[in-house]
């Protein structure tokens, strides 16, 4: 056996056949094991794709998808949604002047209001979104420009933010809190909704500003430095982001649970949108009772404190009022997709059926001439 | 204790090493002194200190050098450099896309996997090194004055080593002493060259006379020899004694490391080369690395991937530049400034982005592809290795894959070049017939005996009955019956019976006798010849008794006795008793052993003494008689004493059972044959041969010289002193072609001259007969030298022997001088039986579309007959014979001209065309003609002819020619070539071919060493190629395509996203998913599929060899398939991107909550895609897919829950968890993969029904119940395998013409791509003889159309056959008719084919054929009918009888 280590090139462990002279006792057959695995005879399912065999699959898929599609489409259609563009790009728009005059540097705020009429009442909870178009929140350098440790209340990161925040890392030698381009470009329009009832009085619609962010964001990911008490002290020595009018600890002074990094508007903004046209949840209009609709049909006033310039990059600003269903907001696409794919399958199934009848049947009946 | 001192010695030696002076070591020789003289001297003074010690180290790395060296090696692969470059790019902040550390992960992973593999291999080498280095051997120690045990690694050059029986040699040792009475040492070289016979080695001559034990202390000579080299068969040098005498050293004096001492109790030698300088180690070169065709093709597509990548990156970069540009100076808030706060110009941004995109899109170049391919190949090798069908029980060996990375090439072979002897045949030689002095002795009884063996062997084994004048072709065709063919497959596992089993038993009994199965040993003598031998020896005995001169014996009788003596002694056969060392017989009578060396003899045998004619040893009759009377016992004793040796068991001597160990099986066969005539070899010593003759008893032939066999001379000779006549006689044995030229009738004696001429003439005719029977022929001749002649020759010979420079050449010339003017004694015919299953293998390989060429060194007739026997040539074929100097056949002159337009060496060549019709051609060419044909000017023409022939047989070709032919075909035709052979003469051919296969058979291991795959038997080639080759190819091809698809699909997702993120290089797929997607999430299923997927079962693949064409034409992986896959990838990625896009459009979804479903959808789609492409779903497939999905979700969930602040820039905290609560996610998972895979699924279904590939038909056959399938297959087998073999048109239509010949083909085959010669009816009718080209364009076109018009239009052909007038006779016999003529057979095969094809969802033959017909097919069709009529009618008038006979056999 030892001799076999000489025979050349046996690194791969296949001793040559000639080396079996080692000793009389060492006769060990090299016969391979007759196992299903080693002989590649594992039991297997061998589907053969022919018209006949795949035919049922197409019909089954078709039959399942079409009803689902219809269901989804109906669900989506039941969702009520109303959208108001208040960018002010149009000269007729009420916010035109604000849009024209406003830039990041202005100190005074510009207020404008938009009137609209809801044709149908909105039942159940209504979600109020603001929407931006042509705003590339998914830009690579923009997405990176944040410091999660700082947002998580880490003291060292607060005073020494990550390099990713550049060039919004420091301002006048002081670290910016929150640093980075995302925070810097926080959406800061204020929106108020008024219902004009039949006698013409404006009633403010109560907007709930908590519960709009992900639970995990609010409670795990975002934390204020040094607990939630006395944010002013906690943020001592930091600078506010360049574009911000007020420091982070004054985002919502009324509610300490919604101030600083855990301000929900801020958290929502920090979750960068996937696509350049996006909406973000702004407020929730809670359902009052089961009898009265949350937003009855009628005339509404949207009061806007116009702070956020978008025209420079051709952006649009919208407000969306929408109810939601179990599958989210209004979007008929999925239903259509299901119906289309289902019908395609059905159609192809029919085609295959024809093919099968024309070409396949002959073989199945053909017997072997003997 | 001894070891301690030696350790000190080692320490000293290492010190020496450090102090080593830079001495000039430029001398061309090595000088070895005995270490013992320098034991007390300081290390520096030891002259041997510069030589390598015996410690071997085959490891590549040390602990320290591992990392740098391994990395260095890995970076030789360009892909690795590329990936490292990308990973490093990530460290540049401006362009980075991922966390830099993370980006390193895949590269580090890949590198470390490879490194671990290398480390493990190296560790194994280290372990085995250590084991070897610590083996024990006996080394003489001066201090102890005895031999002490030492480790191998401590042995140094110049040490004296004592070797005992069955010990393995630790170094290359010069033999100085042996316990053997004749100063011999027997070694077994199996580990070096695989030859299992014993070889004799001689003690150096100067130490020959020593009667007592060799004493190292007295040794004071110096050895000068060549530098270490790897030539196992050469060793030159001389030993210089103190006296100044120089003695030459030969390879016979050298014992090589790794050999085993056998039959010798003890031997002592001095170490000449140690450790890595031994010949065995120098022969050790690492495994070969070849790049397979598939890999070459893959690399082209990898290159395309790079281009696609660059295009995508450039596109994105330009897009980004434009995007930036549109904003102008109004910098939007989301466009972040550079870290320095400065503006990035659009152009700079674009440039940075280009680099970023390269990082992001890096996945397109599949980093894991290379690793995956390697893993899959290792698994494939493992499975091939484990295949029971490729295991040979007789030799306990299985297939060895020596090249690990060309398994898939096995599935793409187009040409097979095979050796004949030992490859197609067993290389077990059986003496069959002989002719002595012009009289033929047919040995009928022997033939019957062999036939019996054969029957026992296996019923279906074919074509070996050469008995008498039995027409050979009949025996061939009789085996074409369906019954036989069928059974050959059903009884495969029970094949080895009869003589095989016996042979096995015999070989177990004595492992050393490789060539002596009972079949070879037991020869039934021809009674007539036996009588003559008896009569002859009787007379000789009588004459000796009456002290008459032997020369008065009638010449025919003396020829007979000489013939047998020549058979007995003219060889290098060693006689031994099994398992016993030869004993020292010191009690020898002194008179018997005075002449110990040839030199001794010569010293005393001066010319003056030659005349005296008497020698004390054994020359005179009287002494000899006395000797015989005196010492029969001692001889017996010497050769058959029982001595328990290494196996501990007392071996009982088999009375009279002597084992002959020959270097070639021919020799053994002849010796056994002679023994059957009571003329047996009983002993061989270096200087004498003992032969036992009937009545005469034992005769000692004084062996003066042995001129060994070489392939140039093709003969060997021995020079002996004949004990009876006291003449110096030369016996020569060799190939008939050379011997016949050397025969010279005596000038003086006219009667003798006449007689000799007659003998020569007769013998030649018998030789031709033997060759026609496929026997190997040898001629035996002798020559009687006068003492003066001998002395004269001896003078020159001695000069030649002692010269160091050019000794071989001088010896060769010396041999040539001796072997002249021979007297022909007779000739022998030896049969070399075909291996099991060779004809079936060849038939099925040929059906698989492989061109089989046989390149052999044998003579033409033998080769042709073996070719018929193994169905390489078909009786129905026309044989073109290219012999440069055969007679000119005027009718074929034009053909000759077609190869050879001008006057050139081929001008005298001619073609023997067999007169019946031919649809196919066989080409036979001999070595001399081949040399002309391989000439630059003719090689194209040669190839053109060879390609149009169905089979090519090159006879009498040298090893170099073999490799030249392979090279020519490979380079000119651009085809995949496989060379298979077993002997050293095939090595060059094996190395040249794309895949070299060695048969680990009888002729040693050289072929195996050079090969990529080593097979125990030829027939395993069938399963290796048809099954494993096909599987490996289709698995790998599919896997590679899938890889490209997968990566492209995944990367395209990100590319689409660039349109929605301002081409900023942003990715919605998290970096972790992006990087580990290939490496982990989608890696396992494809590995499993790549390893285990079987498109068609092994049985079907073997029964339908046509499926092999699939791989030959690279049908699984064609260039367009890459692009189809790319398009599919783009489509699928569009679906996977845009369905979520629209589903989430305008919603408040964030980047990664949107990206994660896309990743998931892509994973589902990719896995389901694999599902569609998977043909067999085993447990493993299911598990791997489930595992992949589970792994993805587990990793995603863990990763998403692990850290809320890490993994910048992306943070997916709780994303997956939320998604799993989102119904939308599930809804997307339902519709997207379905939509993405719909086209492919639909396409596959349609393809399976409307235009299934042959492989799919094979799969459908698999699905049928076993019974039905067998019926179908048997039907197709019989018909397809019938002489006129027709492949289904859908198979042959896709055959591309090899590129190199495209130009030529365009002219020759304008209508079709088919260029396969076997389908080419090369038309031989008179009107076409004028064609310049052998395959005229019109003819071929017609011929092609013939095939195809015949198949669908049954009516036409029927009509035509009826019109053929001579056909009427045939039609009376329906059986005959059916398979008789061309079109009928075609038709019937077409019928049978279509019948089995229609039983599966296929188009009819007719449909697919019609597609292939050119628009003007109709008119051609008419033309054909006329042609075929003419041809048929002429054929049948010429050879009707023969053909009828044929067809009877075919249709049995």
Q: Does residue A124 sit within a domain?
A: yes
SS3 A78: helix
Top-confidence range, A192-206, B536-550, B691-705, B1375-1389: A192-206
Contact criterion met (CB < 8 Å) for A217 and B1213: yes
CA triplet B51, B200, B244: central angle to 5 degrees?
50
Round to whole Å and give the CA distance between A59 and B29. 85
Q: State yes or no: pLDDT of A290 exceeds 50.
A: yes
Q: Shortest CB distance from B337 goes to which of A17, A65, A167?
A: A167
Q: Is B420 annotated as a binding residue?
A: yes
pLDDT, tens digit, 9 for 90 and up, residues B1205-1241: 877 767 888 899 999 999 999 999 999 999 999 999 9
Contact criterion met (CB < 8 Å) for A148 and B1005: no
Round to whole Å and give the CA distance between A125 and B367. 51
Q: List, in sequence order, every residue forming a beta bridge with B149; answer none if it has no partner.
A: B138
Q: Give the structural domain span for A297.
A: 82-324
Domain shared by A203 and A350, yes or no: no
Q: State yes or no: pLDDT of B536 exceeds 90.
A: no
Q: Does residue A349 sit within a domain?
A: yes
pLDDT, tens digit, 9 for 90 and up, residues B251-287: 888 888 878 887 778 888 888 888 888 887 776 655 5
Please state, in angstroms and as integers, the Cα–Cα distance from residue A104 to each residue in A98, A263, A326, A341, B340, following that order. Answer: 12, 21, 39, 48, 21
Question: Mind telling me how many Å the CA of A199 is from chain B's nearest CA?
Answer: 36
Indicate which residues of B carry an active-site annotation. Answer: 419
pLDDT, tens digit, 9 for 90 and up, residues B1173-1189: 999 999 999 999 999 99
Contacts of B260 in chain A (CB under 8 A): 3, 21
Contact B1079, B1024 (CB under 8 A): no
Contact criterion met (CB < 8 Å) for B1214 and A8: no
CA B1059 to centroid of chain Cα atoms: 56
Q: State yes or no: pLDDT of B1023 exceeds 70.
A: yes
Domain shared by A259 and A346, yes or no: no
Domain shared by A98 and A236, yes or no: yes
ipTM value: 0.91
When divided into structural domains, chain A yields a total of 2
Question: What does the pLDDT read at residue B1130?
Answer: 95
Contact criterion met (CB < 8 Å) for A277 and B1145: yes
Domain shared by A194 and A254, yes or no: yes
Domain shared by A128 and A241, yes or no: yes
Q: State yes or no: pLDDT of B46 exceeds 50.
A: yes
Contact criterion met (CB < 8 Å) for B1398 and A362: yes
Question: Mind telling me how many Å the CA of B31 is from chain A's nearest CA?
Answer: 26
Top-confidence range, A321-325, B775-779, B1131-1135: B1131-1135
Q: Which residue of A has its CA nearest to B260?
A: A3
Q: Return phi, psi of residue B1198, to 5°.
A: -65, -45
pTM score above 0.80: no
From the list A267, A133, B1071, B344, the residue with the least C-alpha distance to B335 is B344
Contact B1196, B1080 (CB under 8 A): no
Round to whole Å and give the CA distance between B732 and B571. 9
Contact B1076, B1050 (CB under 8 A): no
Q: Does residue A137 sit within a domain?
A: yes
pLDDT, tens digit, 9 for 90 and up, residues B648-686: 333 333 444 667 777 667 777 888 888 887 787 877 777
Q: Does residue A74 sit within a domain?
A: yes
Dihedral, B533, B534, B537, B541 alpha carbons, nearest 10: 180
Q: Shortest CB distance from B132 goes to which of A2, A140, A363?
A: A2
Q: Which residue of B has its CA nearest to A350?
A: B1242
Higher pLDDT, A213 or B474: A213
Among the residue ranges A262-266, B170-174, B445-449, B460-464, the one predicted with the least confidence is B460-464
Question: What does the pLDDT read at residue A9?
Answer: 34
Domain shared by A288 and A353, yes or no: no
**What's the mean pLDDT in B1057-1066?**
92
Question: What does the pLDDT read at residue B1249?
Answer: 86
Domain shared by A75 and A120, yes or no: no
Q: Does residue A209 sit within a domain?
A: yes
Neighbours of B93 (CB within 10 A): 12
Domain shared by A169 and A189, yes or no: yes
Q: Which residue of B has its CA nearest to A154?
A: B1205
Contacts of B1066 in chain A (CB under 8 A): 138-140, 143
Widest Cα–Cα separation across chain A: 114
Domain shared by A347 and A336, yes or no: yes
Contacts of A38 in chain B (CB under 8 A): 383, 386
Please give the interface size between A and B, counted as residue pairs whose CB atoms are below 8 Å apart: 377
Round to whole Å and give the CA distance between B1257 and A117. 68
Round to whole Å and give the CA distance between B348 and B350. 5
pLDDT, tens digit, 9 for 90 and up, residues B607-645: 433 333 333 333 333 333 333 333 433 333 333 333 333
Domain shared by A72 and A86, yes or no: no
Residue A255 makes CB contacts below 8 A (sequence gap 6+) with A210
pLDDT, tens digit, 9 for 90 and up, residues B1328-1375: 333 333 333 333 333 333 333 333 333 333 333 333 333 334 333 433
Q: State yes or no: pLDDT of A270 exceeds 80.
A: yes
Round to whole Å and give the CA distance between A141 and B975. 54
Q: Does residue A91 sit within a domain?
A: yes
Q: Does residue A132 sit within a domain?
A: yes
Q: Which residue of B has its CA nearest to A163?
A: B339
Contact A76, A325 (CB under 8 A): yes
Contact criterion met (CB < 8 Å) for A281 and B1148: yes
Structure tokens at B755: 């007689």
Domain shared by A128 and A74, yes or no: no
Contacts of B1224 in chain A (CB under 8 A): 327-328, 334
Dihedral, B862, B850, B1104, B1384 alpha carbons, nearest 10: -70
Pairing verdict, β B921-926 and B951-955: parallel
Q: State yes or no: pLDDT of B1439 exceeds 60.
A: no
Domain shared by A249 and A215, yes or no: yes
Q: Is B962 annotated as a binding residue?
A: yes
Q: Does residue A242 sit within a domain?
A: yes
Q: Return the H-helix or E-strand segment holding B1121.
A: helix B1119-1144
């Amino acid at each position: 056996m030892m001799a076999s280590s000489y025979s050349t090139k046996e690194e791969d462990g296949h001793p040559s056949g000639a080396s079996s002279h080692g000793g009389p006792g060492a006769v060990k057959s090299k016969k391979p094991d007759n196992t299903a695995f080693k002989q590649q005879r594992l039991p297997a399912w061998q589907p053969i794709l022919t018209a006949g065999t795949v035919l049922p699959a197409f019909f089954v898929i078709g039959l399942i998808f079409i009803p689902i599609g219809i269901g989804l489409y109906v669900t989506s259609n039941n969702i009520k949604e109303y959208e108001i563009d208040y960018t002010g790009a149009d000269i007729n728009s009420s916010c035109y002047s604000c849009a024209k005059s406003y830039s990041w540097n202005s100190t005074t705020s510009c207020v404008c209001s938009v009137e609209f009429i809801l044709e149908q009442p909105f039942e159940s909870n209504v979600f109020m979104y603001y929407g931006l178009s042509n705003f590339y929140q998914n830009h690579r350098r923009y997405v990176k420009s944040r410091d999660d440790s700082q947002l998580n209340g880490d003291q060292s990161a607060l005073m020494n933010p990550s390099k990713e925040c550049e060039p919004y890392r420091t301002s006048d030698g002081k670290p910016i809190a929150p640093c980075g381009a995302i925070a810097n470009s926080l959406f800061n329009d204020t929106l108020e909704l008024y219902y004009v009832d039949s006698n013409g009085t404006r009633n403010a619609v109560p907007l709930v500003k908590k519960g709009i962010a992900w639970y995990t964001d609010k409670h795990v990911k975002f934390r204020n430095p040094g607990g939630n008490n006395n944010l002013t002290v906690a943020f001592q020595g930091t600078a506010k982001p360049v574009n911000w009018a007020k420091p982070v600890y004054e985002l919502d002074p009324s509610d300490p649970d919604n101030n600083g990094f855990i301000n929900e508007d801020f958290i929502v903004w920090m979750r960068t949108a996937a696509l350049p046209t996006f909406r973000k949840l702004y407020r929730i209009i809670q359902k009052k009772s089961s009898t009265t609709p949350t937003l009855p049909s009628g005339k509404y006033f949207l009061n806007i404190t116009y702070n956020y310039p978008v025209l420079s990059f051709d952006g649009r600003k919208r407000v969306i009022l929408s109810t939601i269903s179990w599958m989210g907001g209004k979007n008929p696409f999925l239903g259509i997709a299901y119906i289309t794919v289902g019908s395609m399958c059905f159609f192809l199934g029919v085609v295959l059926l024809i093919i099968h009848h024309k070409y396949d049947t002959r073989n199945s009946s053909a017997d072997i001439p003997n | 204790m001894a070891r301690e001192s030696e350790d000190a010695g080692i320490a000293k030696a290492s010190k020496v090493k450090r102090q080593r002076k830079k001495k000039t070591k430029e001398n061309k020789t090595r000088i070895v002194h005995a270490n013992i003289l320098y034991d007390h001297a300081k290390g520096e003074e030891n002259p041997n200190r510069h030589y390598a010690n015996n410690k071997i180290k085959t490891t590549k790395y040390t602990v320290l050098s591992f990392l740098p060296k391994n990395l260095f090696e890995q970076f030789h692969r360009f892909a690795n450099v590329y990936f490292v470059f990308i990973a490093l790019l990530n460290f540049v902040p401006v362009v980075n896309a991922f966390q830099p550390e993370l980006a390193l992960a895949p590269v580090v992973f890949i590198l470390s996997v490879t490194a671990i593999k290398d480390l493990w291999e190296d560790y194994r080498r280290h372990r085995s090194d250590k084991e070897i280095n610590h083996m024990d051997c006996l080394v003489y120690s001066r201090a102890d004055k005895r031999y002490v045990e030492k480790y191998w690694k401590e042995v140094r050059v110049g040490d004296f080593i004592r070797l005992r029986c069955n010990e393995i040699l630790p170094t290359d040792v010069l033999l100085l002493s042996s316990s053997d009475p004749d100063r011999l040492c027997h070694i077994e070289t199996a580990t070096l060259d695989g030859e299992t016979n014993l070889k004799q080695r001689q003690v150096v001559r100067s130490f020959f006379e020593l009667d007592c034990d060799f004493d190292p202390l007295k040794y004071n000579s110096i050895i000068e020899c060549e530098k270490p080299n790897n030539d196992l068969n050469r060793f030159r040098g001389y030993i210089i004694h103190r006296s100044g005498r120089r003695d030459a050293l030969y390879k016979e004096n050298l014992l090589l490391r790794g050999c085993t001492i056998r039959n010798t109790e003890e031997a002592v030698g001095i170490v000449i080369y140690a450790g890595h300088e031994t010949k065995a180690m120098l022969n050790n070169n690492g495994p070969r690395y070849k790049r397979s065709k598939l890999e070459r093709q893959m690399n082209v597509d990898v290159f395309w991937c790079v281009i696609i990548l660059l295009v995508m990156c450039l596109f994105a970069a330009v897009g980004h530049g434009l995007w930036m540009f549109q904003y102008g100076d109004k910098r939007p808030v989301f466009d972040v400034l550079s870290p320095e706060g400065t503006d990035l110009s659009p152009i700079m941004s674009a440039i940075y982005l280009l680099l970023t995109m390269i990082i992001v899109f890096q996945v397109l170049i599949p980093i894991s592809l290379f690793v995956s391919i390697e893993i899959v190949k290792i698994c494939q090798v493992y499975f091939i290795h484990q295949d029971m069908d490729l295991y040979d029980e007789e030799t306990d060996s299985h297939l060895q894959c020596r090249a690990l990375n060309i398994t898939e090439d096995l599935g793409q072979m187009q040409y097979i070049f095979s050796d004949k002897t030992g490859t197609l045949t067993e290389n077990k030689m059986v003496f069959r017939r002989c002719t002595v002095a012009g009289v033929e002795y047919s040995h009928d009884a022997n033939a019957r005996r062999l036939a019996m063996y054969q029957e026992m062997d296996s019923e279906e084994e074919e074509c070996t009955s050469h008995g008498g004048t039995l027409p050979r072709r009949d025996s061939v065709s009789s085996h074409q019956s369906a019954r036989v063919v069928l059974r050959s497959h059903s009884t495969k596992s029970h094949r080895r019976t009869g003589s095989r089993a016996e042979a096995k038993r015999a070989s177990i009994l004595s492992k050393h006798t490789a060539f002596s199965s009972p079949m070879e040993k037991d020869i039934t003598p021809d009674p007539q010849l036996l009588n003559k031998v008896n009569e002859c020896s009787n007379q000789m005995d009588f004459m000796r008794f009456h002290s008459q001169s032997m020369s008065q014996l009638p010449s025919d009788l003396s020829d007979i006795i000489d013939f047998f003596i020549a058979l007995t002694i003219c060889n290098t056969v060693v006689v031994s008793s099994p398992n016993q060392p030869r004993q020292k017989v010191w009690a020898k009578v002194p008179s018997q052993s005075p002449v110990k060396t040839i030199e001794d003899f010569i010293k005393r045998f001066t010319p003056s003494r030659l005349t005296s004619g008497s020698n004390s040893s054994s020359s005179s009759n009287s002494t000899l008689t006395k000797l015989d009377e005196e010492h029969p016992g001692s001889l017996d004793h010497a050769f058959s004493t029982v001595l328990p040796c290494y196996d501990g068991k007392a071996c009982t001597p088999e009375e009279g059972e002597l084992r002959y160990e020959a270097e070639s099986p021919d020799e053994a066969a002849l010796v056994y044959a002679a023994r059957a005539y009571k003329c047996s070899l009983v002993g061989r010593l270096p200087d004498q041969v003992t032969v036992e003759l009937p009545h005469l008893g034992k005769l000692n032939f004084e062996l003066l010289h042995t001129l060994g066999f070489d392939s140039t001379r093709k003969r060997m000779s021995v020079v002996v002193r004949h004990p009876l006549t006291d003449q110096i006689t030369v016996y020569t044995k060799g190939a008939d072609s050379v011997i016949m030229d050397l025969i010279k009738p005596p000038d003086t004696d006219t009667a003798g001259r006449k007689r000799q001429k007659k003998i020569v003439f007769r013998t030649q005719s018998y030789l031709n007969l033997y060759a026609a029977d496929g026997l190997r022929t040898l001629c035996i001749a002798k020559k009687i030298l006068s003492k003066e002649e001998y002395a004269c020759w001896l003078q020159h010979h001695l000069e030649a022997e002692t010269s160091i420079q050019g000794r071989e050449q001088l010896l060769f010339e010396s041999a040539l001088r001796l072997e002249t003017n021979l007297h022909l004694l007779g000739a022998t015919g030896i049969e070399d039986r075909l291996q099991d299953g060779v004809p079936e293998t060849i038939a099925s390989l040929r059906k698989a579309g492989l061109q089989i060429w046989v390149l052999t060194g044998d003579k033409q007739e033998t080769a042709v007959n073996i070719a018929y026997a193994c169905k390489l040539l078909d009786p129905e074929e026309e044989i073109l014979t290219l012999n440069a100097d055969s007679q000119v056949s005027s009718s074929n002159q034009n053909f000759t001209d077609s190869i050879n337009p001008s006057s050139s060496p081929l001008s005298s060549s001619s073609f023997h065309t067999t007169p019946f019709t031919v649809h196919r051609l066989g080409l036979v060419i001999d070595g001399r003609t081949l040399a002309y044909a391989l000439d630059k000017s003719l090689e194209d023409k040669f190839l053109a002819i060879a390609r149009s022939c169905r089979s090519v047989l090159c006879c009498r070709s040298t090893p170099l020619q073999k490799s030249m032919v392979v090279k020519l075909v490979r380079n000119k035709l651009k085809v995949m070539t496989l060379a298979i052979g077993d002997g050293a003469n095939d090595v060059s051919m094996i190395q040249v071919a794309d895949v070299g296969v060695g048969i680990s058979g009888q002729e040693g291991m050289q072929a195996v060493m050079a090969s990529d795959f080593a097979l125990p038997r030829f027939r395993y080639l069938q399963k290796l190629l048809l099954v494993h080759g096909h599987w490996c190819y289709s698995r790998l091809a599919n896997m590679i395509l899938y890889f490209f698809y997968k990566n492209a699909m995944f990367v395209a997702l990100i590319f689409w996203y660039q349109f929605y993120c301002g081409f900023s290089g942003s990715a919605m797929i998290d970096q972790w998913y992006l990087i580990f997607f290939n490496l982990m999430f989608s890696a396992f299923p494809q590995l499993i599929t790549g390893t285990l997927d079987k498109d068609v079962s092994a049985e079907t693949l073997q029964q339908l060899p046509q499926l092999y064409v699939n791989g030959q034409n690279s049908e699984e992986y064609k260039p367009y398939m890459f692009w189809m896959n790319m398009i599919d990838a783009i489509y699928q990625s569009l679906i996977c991107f845009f369905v979520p896009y629209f589903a989430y459009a305008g919603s408040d979804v964030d980047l990664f909550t949107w990206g994660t479903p896309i990743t998931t959808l892509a994973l589902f789609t990719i896995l389901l895609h694999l599902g569609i492409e998977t043909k067999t779903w085993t447990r493993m497939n299911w598990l791997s897919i489930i595992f992949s999905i589970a792994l993805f979700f587990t990793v995603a969930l863990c990763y998403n829950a692990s850290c809320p602040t890490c993994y910048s820039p992306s943070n997916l905290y709780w994303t997956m968890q939320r998604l799993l609560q989102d119904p939308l996610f599930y809804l997307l998972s339902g519709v997207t993969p379905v939509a993405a895979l719909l086209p492919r699924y639909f396409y596959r279904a349609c393809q399976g029904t409307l235009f299934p590939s042959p492989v799919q038909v094979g799969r459908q056959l698999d699905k049928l119940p076993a019974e039905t399938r067998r019926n179908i297959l048997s039907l197709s087998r019989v018909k397809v395998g019938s002489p006129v073999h027709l492949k289904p048109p859908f198979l042959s239509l896709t055959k591309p013409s090899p590129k190199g010949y495209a130009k030529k083909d365009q002219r020759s085959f304008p209508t079709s791509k088919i260029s396969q010669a076997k389908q080419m009816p090369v038309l031989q009718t008179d009107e076409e003889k004028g064609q310049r080209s052998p395959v005229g364009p019109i003819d071929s076109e017609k011929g092609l159309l013939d095939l195809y018009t015949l198949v669908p239009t049954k009516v036409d052909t029927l009509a035509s056959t009826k019109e053929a007038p001579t056909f009427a006779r045939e039609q009376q016999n329906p059986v005959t008719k059916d398979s008789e003529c061309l079109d009928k057979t075609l038709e019937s095969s077409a019928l049978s084919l279509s019948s089995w094809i229609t039983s599966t969802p296929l188009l009819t033959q007719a449909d697919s054929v019609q597609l292939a017909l050119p628009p003007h097919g109709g008119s051609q069709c008419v033309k054909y009918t006329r042609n075929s009529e003419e041809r048929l009618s002429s054929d049948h008038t010429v050879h009707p009888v023969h053909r009828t006979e044929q067809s009877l056999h075919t249709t049995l």
